[in-house]
Amino acid sequence: MIADVPELINTLNKLRLSEVAAEKAPPGTFLVCGPRKRIRSNGQFESDENCLILQSREKTPVSIARLVEAVGRGMANGGHSHCDAKSRHTNSLASKLLAIAVCSQYRFEALKEIKKNINSCNVSLWAATRLPLPFSEQYRFGDFIYSRFDFQRFQGLALHAGCDYGKRISPTLSSCAAVERTPRVINCLDHNAFPEEYWPKDWSTETTQRILDDYYGELAEAQKEDFLFDLDQQQALFIGLGLGAISAGFFQGLAGFGEWITVFDRDLPGRGWGIPNKVVPGFQILSPHKLEEGKRALISQLNLEDWGEHPLDQILQAFCEYLQTAREFEDNGRLEEALLHHVFGLDLILGGESSVPLKNTLATRIAILANTPMKSDFQEVVAFIGDTYDLRSSYVHRGEKGKLDQAKPKMSIADRLKRLSEISKIVLAAGIHSRKQKWCIGSDARNKWVAQIDLAVATRNAGKELSQNDIDQLGLDRISLQSGDLVPNIRISWKT
Instruction: Return the domain boundaries, the chain.
Output: 6-276, 288-492
Residue 281 pLDDT grade (very low, low, confident, very high; cuts 50, 70, 90): very low
Assess contact for 346 and 366: CB atoms under 8 A: yes
Are 186 and 123 contacting, i.e. CB atoms less than 8 angstroms apart?
yes
User: pLDDT confidence of 52, banded at 50, 70, 90?
Assistant: very high
Q: Note the pLDDT of residue 38.
A: 67
Q: Which residue has the higher pLDDT, 244 or 456?
A: 456
pLDDT of residue 288: 36
pLDDT band at 369 (very low <50, low <70, confident <90, very high): very high
34 vs 37: CA distance, rounded Å: 10
Give the model confidence (pLDDT) of 93-140 as tens digits. Answer: 999 999 999 988 888 998 999 999 999 999 999 988 777 777 677 787
Alpha carbons 108 and 4: distance in angstroms, whole number: 9
Mean pLDDT, residues 294-310: 79
**Res. 205: pLDDT tops 80:** no
- Please say if the pLDDT value at position 464 is more than 60: yes
User: Residue 201 to residues 33, 100, 106, 107, 334: CA-CA distances in angstroms?
Assistant: 20, 11, 11, 13, 41
Residue 85 is predicted with a pLDDT of 80
d(CA 247, CA 243): 12
pLDDT attached to residue 128: 82
